[in-house]
Amino acid sequence: MDIHLHHDHSQHHHEEHFQQSETVRDIVIGMADGLTVPFALAAGLSGAVDTNEIILAAGLAEIVAGSIAMGLGGYLAGKTEVEHYDAELQRERRECVTHYETERQEVMAILGHYGLSKASQELVMNEMEKDTEKWVEFMMRFELGLEKPDPARARKSAMNIGFSYVVGGIIPLSAYYFTENPSSGLLYSSVITVLCLMVFGFYKSKVTGQPPLRGAFRTTVIGVLAAGAAYGLANLLG
């Protein structure tokens, strides 16, 4: 009884960790573009217009469009993952019937890779094939490396990415609301955004297992280069 309870707790912990990883990935995707793209747009407009109202209007429009586009992209990616899994699942089910012996040998080869003897492989395979769905699930996970996706994942991903993009986009744009002209707005926006990019890059790298300082530097440089390019182009064309 104790062993069974311990196993259930471990499984729950694994699932919780998996969901957290997916959510973090969504937030990283949304925030990364949300901080960079509106910042670059506002910087470019700062070199071409004379009033903050135009920058705010254009920036808000970009945030709305960008969040919808990014959210839709996340939704489609989630739906594609589900469709791909379902297609592979159906194929494995067919092959367990049409290529019965080949599929058995593939399972035994996988078990052998994990150190099971020939006798143990045969014993496990004989038990596994009594439940075709478990057999198919085993092949999906250990042959194809596919985990069953959450059917609601696409919707959650769209909301996470879209909301993160809005939050990220408002940060650089907020400076133009509290200043009187584009030059001042750009100055404060740059300071705020660079600090946020550094913190975000540091945290993103930390949760993904990358060197935090290097991640902070790289994320900040990308954002600054994008804004600098937009600002320079606007001045050149102006």
Let me know: does 45 contact 58? Beta carbons within 8 Å.
yes
Residue 6 lies in a domain: no
pLDDT category of residue 3 using cuts at 50, 70 and 90: very low
Over residues 84-94, the mean pLDDT reads: 79
Which letter does DSSP use for residue 144 in this model? S
Separation CA 12–CA 57 (nearest Å): 46
- Tally the domains of the chain: 1
What's the pLDDT band for 163 if we cut at 50, 70, 90? very high
| Consecutive H or E run containing 48 | none
Give the C-alpha separation, 201 to 195, whole Å: 10
Q: What is residue 7's predicted lDDT score, i.e. its pLDDT?
A: 44
In a domain, 101, yes or no: yes
- Is pLDDT above 50 for 8? no
pTM of the model: 0.70
Phi first, then psi: what are they for 148, rounded to 5°?
Answer: -65, 120
- For position 11, what pLDDT does the model report? 47
Is 18 a domain residue? no
Confidence check: pLDDT of 107 > 80:
no
160 inside domain: yes
What's the whole-number average pLDDT of the chain? 78
Residue 13 lies in a domain: no
Range of weakest confidence among 48-62, 73-87, 174-188, 204-218 = 204-218
Q: Is residue 21 in some structural domain?
A: no
Residue 129 resides in a domain: yes
> Whole-angstrom Cα distance, residue 199 to residue 180?
27
Q: Taking the chain, what is the end-to-end CA distance rounded to the nearest angstrom?
A: 75
pLDDT at residue 167 in the model: 92
Structural domain range at position 90? 34-237
Percent of the chain with pLDDT over 90: 11
Q: What are the tens digits of pLDDT across the range 35-74?
A: 888 888 888 888 778 889 999 999 999 999 999 998 998 8
Tokens of 154: 């696409």
In a domain, 58, yes or no: yes
